[in-house]
Each structure stands twice: as structure tokens, then as C-alpha cells.
Amino acid sequence: MEARLRQAEKMQALGTMAGGIAHDFNNLLTAVMGSLELASDMGPELDQGTARLLDNAMAAARRGADLTRRLLNFSRPRDLSLQPVDVNALLRGLRDLLMQGVASRRGPDGGRVPFDIRMDGLAPDGDLPPVRTDAGQLELALLNLCINASDAMPEGGTITLSTAQVHMDDAAAGGDLMPGDYVVVSVADQGTGMPPETLARIFEPFFTTKDVGRGTGLGLSMIYGFVRHSGGDVRVTSAPGQGTRVDLYLPVHHCPGAGLAVSNPTAPVAAS
Ligand code: ADP
């Protein structure tokens, strides 16, 4: 319990720091991008080589701006729009986008890697109450988790999404969860899995075992922040050589008669 509390405090401190840096860095990037645009506008006066260098610099600045946007999101989870969400419907509506997200993965030889996303483990619709969460953030989280799963399966494989309702009593809730009803959304893979020393650090911002340019180490820390602010928790089980399962515990929305929000899948987002 104390360890989880320390983790939450650490996350908060890191979030505040990350937000401050992201904010200042974003202002600098805006100035850099403005200057690059002015330089690009010189058009015919530029030789081809210079124009290409300017394009490259602009692309790098845009990537930097995207990273700072993620950092700001991480440090401002209070901006969440919590609504009743039908998770099964959200998952079904998201399937194509998730497939696109993992389909772009390339194997070590540069070729496409075959992936399947299975949803036959969804709880029957009638059995699953709405949850209280931010539908847009949940979509981003699921996309991120599927991309992590695909990264863990360099030869391809199956990613399984499932849902279930659970009741957590005092003893079962433990740690960060209040006793109550939850819908658990799980993303499972049969990939590399993680050794305990990796598993212990996955929620730390900037912790990554991936190559530079492939991982930022922000995916799971942002997912953790968003789920905790929804009143839920993230639990991860993993075994080296066998695979990983990430369980998002989302609190059931207790308000009969409220309409269900199912947002449309948004445009594909880059991996964390
Ligand atoms: P990133 O994906 O950018 O590295 P994350 O915060 O999403 O950042 O993940 C942190 C680390 O957790 C990853 O670098 C990887 O070592 C580990 N990890 C996350 N998901 C999985 C998974 N499904 N299988 C194996 N390792 C994983």
C-alpha cells in the first residue's frame, strides 16, 4: 500500500515537472517552426538541398510538438471528460483502427508482420454495464496497448481483447482500488513477456526498453494516469517467453437512464 502511495506521489511530481518542461519547450518549438516556415516560403530562392533540409527540420519539430502534446496530456489528466461508455461497442468500433495500428509494424527484415486481433472474449452485451471513463482516452490507451503487444511479437501473432464485469470487495480491491463494481478490459499477447525488473518499472514515465525513435516510455505511464483519474487501476501480468496481459479496471457507471457515449474511432496515432 505504502509502495503504491509512493508510486502515485512520484507520478504526480513527475507529471508536474514534465508539464512544466513540455509547456516551455512547446513555446520554443512554436518559434522554431515559425522561422522554418518563413524560410521555406523563400521558395525559388532556395536551392533543392536547403529546401530538403528545411523540410527535415520541420518534420523533426512536428515530432517534438507531438511529444510535448503527449507530455502535457500526461500532466493534465484532470481534463478528462468522464461519461458513461459502452466498452463492448467501443471495442468493436475500434477494431479497424487497431488493425491499422498494428498492420504498419515491420519485422526485422522490413517485411510486414501478420497480426490478428480477436474479440471473442467480450462479455455478452447484456451482462456488461456502462463504465465511467473518457472514451477518447480509452481508445488511445487501447491503441497503445495493441502497439505494445505487437512490438512484443516481432514475428506477428494474436492480440486478444476481452471484457468482464467484476465485483471487488474490500479484500480483493486492495492497493489503489475502492471496493465496488468494475469492468475489466484486457489486452493480452503471447509475446516476449517481461522479466520482473522490467515489470516493476513499466509505469515510470520515460522508462522504455525500445530503441530510440521506437519507444518514448510514455505509453503505460499515461494510461496509468488516465485510468487512475477515472477511478480505476491498471494491473499487468507478464511472464518471460509467454506473454503479457494488461487489465484496465474501469469503474461501473451507476446512473440508470443515462445515455451511453460511444465515440467514433479517431485518426490513427503514432506509437508511444
Ligand atoms: P514504450 O512502448 O514507448 O517503451 P510504454 O510505457 O508503453 O513505453 O512501455 C514501457 C516498457 O514496458 C516497454 O519499453 C516494454 O519494455 C514494456 N512493455 C510494455 N508492454 C509490453 C508488452 N505487451 N510485452 C512486453 N513488454 C512490454
Confirm if 230 and 82 have CB atoms less than 8 A apart.
Answer: yes
Q: Count CB neighbours of 75 within 10 A.
A: 23
How does residue 185 score in pLDDT terms, banded at 50, 70 and 90? very high
For residue 237, how far is its CA from the centre of ligand 1 (angstroms)?
12
Q: Is 198 in the pocket of ligand 1 (CB under 6 A)?
A: yes
Q: Is 146 in the pocket of ligand 1 (CB under 6 A)?
A: no
Q: Is 223 in the pocket of ligand 1 (CB under 6 A)?
A: no
pLDDT value at residue 78 = 57
How does residue 258 score in pLDDT terms, banded at 50, 70 and 90? very low
> Which atom of ligand 1 is found nearest the CA of 147?
2
> Which atom of ligand 1 is found nearest the CA of 218?
6
Q: Is 142 in the pocket of ligand 1 (CB under 6 A)?
A: no
Average pLDDT over residues 151-175: 89
Ordered alpha helix ranges (H), 41-156:
48-75, 87-103, 135-151
How does residue 267 score in pLDDT terms, banded at 50, 70 and 90? very low
For residue 47, how far is its CA from the centre of ligand 1 (angstroms)?
43
For residue 216, how far is its CA from the centre of ligand 1 (angstroms)?
9
Tell me: ipTM over 0.90.
Answer: yes
Q: Model-level pTM?
A: 0.74
| CA nearest ligand 1 atom 17, residue | 202
Rounded to an integer, what distance in angstroms lies between the CA atom of residue 3 and that of residue 176? 11
Task: Judge whether residue 270 has pLDDT over 70.
Answer: no
> 220-252 pLDDT, tens per residue?
988 888 898 889 999 999 999 999 999 999 999
Q: Is 221 in the pocket of ligand 1 (CB under 6 A)?
A: yes
> Per mean pLDDT, which of 22-26, 56-60, 102-106 is the most reliable?
56-60
